[in-house]
Structure 1
Amino acid sequence: MNSMLQPPPADQAAPATVLCVDDEPNILAALRRLFRPAGYRVLLAESGAAGLAVLEQQAVDLVISDMRMPEMNGAQFLAQVRQRWPDTLRLLLTGYSDIQSIQDAINCGEIYRYITKPWEDGDMLLVVRHALERRQLEQDKQRLEALTLRQNEELKALNQSLEAKVEQRTRQLKTEHEATVAANAKLKQNFVTTIKIFSSMIELRAHNQPGHARLVADLARKMAAVLGLEGRDAQDVFIAALLHDIGKIGFSDEMLQTPLTLLRGDALALFRKHPVRAEELLMPLEDLRGSALILRSQLERFDGNGFPDGLAGLAIPLGARILALAADYYNLQQGAMVQRHLRADEAKSLILDAGGKRYDPHVVAAFRQIIDGAQPDSGAGVEVLSGELLPGMVLARDLVSRDGLMLLAVDHVLDARMIQQVQDFETKSGGRLPIWVRNPREGA
């Protein structure tokens, strides 16, 4: 019995309150003597009505009620307790074996347990303790459920807030990405345009025919596409073709005007070094290093008798094999390689005859496919007169003057002011400009 005389659980903020209801004062006194040493706060009532009055004034954790009482028996009293204070635990104390009365108490008052008189103190304390522990567990469960529900609602609100923020951030990132892509495209376009302008400046120094570098670059680009190059590799070939004469920037006027077959001694040795000089000029620019490597090998021969490294076959970069053929094809027609200007068909014949010796046979096959195919470039567009230009039209080719200066780059969108400037330029120069715009049926 002494083991039952222990305080309530430590996690309780205050001692549990027990209300004892019985019409016999000696029973109430006995219950008070039993529960107080165990650490409980004990309230007493001598009738059901008195018990209800106590409950109306004070918070009670557990009620122990006698069954047989005048005016209001235990079952009736506990039924009202259940209805008005459902969280208060209810025990029935009965001194006789009346099964019907116990059933009434269980059904109406939903009692936790019933205890018969006389009771064993140890059993009584154990029942009360277990009942209060169960009540504490139930309250903890309800509190945790309420906390979980509240936290779930807070989490739901937080998730909705996060979803809104993520959606907003996603839209922002998408807008920033689109702006970055547009800026990169514009930067790339400006980069290529700058290369084209620089190429035009080289042509003025090298005394080439206007547009020579662009012809070489266009042919090289087409051959690269036939041979499966794309992306950065194709761009490296295109840029290398535009700048293929950059290594000649220090040549004298006399040397620049002398065909290759007439160069001798120091002049020939200097000529053979211009690819290395071109590489040295471009190597500091990281974005042009691919093109610089192509320029270094542009004078190599497929049979290994070229310069400066004597590379042979597939050891020569593919871009250099493409550039060598494209540059020679137009140099033959402009008198840069032999004393006379060859016709296009004559230059083509020499190129085909040199397949496997000077040129890669696969590159020669791609060249022949392009020359013989006579298929229009999908991006060529249509040629129009300056008077036919309208705002919003897009250039399909670079707009180049008769002396080879690039006036506007491909993909430039014309507006009214620019159209007027083009028309004024034609008037002042006394000649018509070759203006190519994208076919309106293909869309801008």
Structure 2
Amino acid sequence: MSRILIVDDEASILKSLQRLLRHAPCSYGNQHFPLEVVTTTSAHEALAFAHQDDFDLFISDYRMPEMDGVEFLKAAKAIQPDAARLILSGYADLNALLRAVNEVGIERFIAKPWNDYELLSAIGQALAHRNLQRENRQLADLVRLEMGDKSAEELEAERLERIEPGITHVDWGPDGSVVLDPDLLKDD
């Protein structure tokens, strides 16, 4: 099941998207994607969700009061770099689009009001692309392991870093102990 997090400051838009994604099939080529959809009107709440759970796709409105869609997707990318990203907006500004592509690497910019078929197609395509990237990385990792370029431990550390950035970083104290709060060392 593919998990999607949708952020839009308009609750009516979220309800419409939920209804569409609940009733319409989402597919690309011969791949079908059953969806679990999480929605929120708050970008900050969405980032909290991203810290708690894994998502395959983030969809964000561009114009929101707390932060714009590019800022949100940039923060979401820092938390979950492998998730696909789409912007959905009634505000069609070329500079905003270029910023979204250059800073965040969005898959698509979808205009409001959207065409249901085009939206479902874009979601299916983004999820299929994400799956292909994941498979390519797994195959490349197998080749690196077979060729001796990487050890199983190094590959596992990289996998853990993708899931939880910073998890493999350890701060060591001067006596060789593990420091849980590096700020405590600065005061000494």
- TM-score when scaled to structure 1? 0.31
Q: Which has the higher strand share?
A: 2
Matched, 1:81 2:76: yes
Q: Which residue of 1 aligns with 2:168?
A: none
Q: Which residue of 2 aligns with 1:151?
A: 146
Q: Which residue of 1 aligns with 2:16?
A: 30
Runs (4+) off by over 6 Å: none
Q: For residues 43 and 36 of structure 1, what CA distance do their matches in structure 2 show? A: 12
Q: For residues 48 and 84 of structure 2, what CA distance do their matches in structure 1 show? A: 17
Deviation digits for residues 354-412 of structure 1 (CA, Å, limit 9, x no counterpart): xxxxxxxxxxxxxxxxxxxxxxxxxxxxxxxxxxxxxxxxxxxxxxxxxxxxxxxxxxx
Matched, 1:112 2:107: yes
Deviation digits for residues 2-50 of structure 1 (CA, Å, limit 9, x no counterpart): xxxxxxxxxxxxx100111000001101111111233310001112111
Q: Percent identity?
A: 38
Q: Which residue of 1 aligns with 2:37?
A: 42
Which one-letter code corresponds to 1:74 in the other structure? Answer: G
For the 8 Å contact 1:92–1:115, the answer to whether it is kept is yes
Query: Which of residues 120, 134, 139 in structure 2 aligns to 1:125?
Result: 120
Q: Which residue of 2 aligns with 1:59?
A: 54
Matched, 1:137 2:126: no
Which one-letter code corresponds to 2:68 in the other structure? Answer: N
Q: For residues 79 and 53 of structure 2, what CA distance do their matches in structure 1 show? A: 13
Q: Which has the higher helix share?
A: 1
Other structure's SS at 1:150 match: helix
For the 8 Å contact 2:85–2:107, the answer to whether it is kept is yes
Q: For residues 124 and 66 of structure 2, what CA distance do their matches in structure 1 show? A: 30
Q: For residues 106 and 45 of structure 1, what CA distance do their matches in structure 2 show? A: 23
Other structure's SS at 1:50 match: helix
Q: How many residues align?
A: 140
| CA drift at 1:107 | 2.0
Deviation digits for residues 80-131 of structure 1 (CA, Å, limit 9, x no counterpart): 1122211011000110221122222222222111000000111111111011
Q: How does 1:218-367 map to 2 (within 5 A)?
A: none
Q: For residues 67 and 107 of structure 1, what CA distance do their matches in structure 2 show? A: 15
Q: For residues 134 and 107 of structure 2, what CA distance do their matches in structure 1 show? A: 16
Query: Which of residues 77, 81, 86 in structure 2 aligns to 1:91?
Result: 86
Which one-letter code corresponds to 2:19 in the other structure? Answer: R
Q: Which residue of 2 aligns with 1:4?
A: none
For the 8 Å contact 1:82–1:110, the answer to whether it is kept is no
Deviation digits for residues 196-228 of structure 1 (CA, Å, limit 9, x no counterpart): xxxxxxxxxxxxxxxxxxxxxxxxxxxxxxxxx
For the 8 Å contact 1:23–1:69, the answer to whether it is kept is yes
| CA drift at 1:136 | 0.5
Other structure's SS at 1:104 match: helix
RMSD over aligned Cα, in angstroms?
A: 1.3
Larger radius of gyration: 1
Which one-letter code corresponds to 2:123 in the other structure? Answer: V
Q: Which residue of 2 aligns with 1:244?
A: none
- TM-score when scaled to structure 2? 0.71
Deviation digits for residues 312-346 of structure 1 (CA, Å, limit 9, x no counterpart): xxxxxxxxxxxxxxxxxxxxxxxxxxxxxxxxxxx
Which one-letter code corresponds to 1:25 in the other structure? Answer: A
For the 8 Å contact 1:76–1:108, the answer to whether it is kept is no
Q: Which residue of 2 aligns with 1:19?
A: 5
| CA drift at 1:153 | 2.2
Other structure's SS at 1:114 match: strand
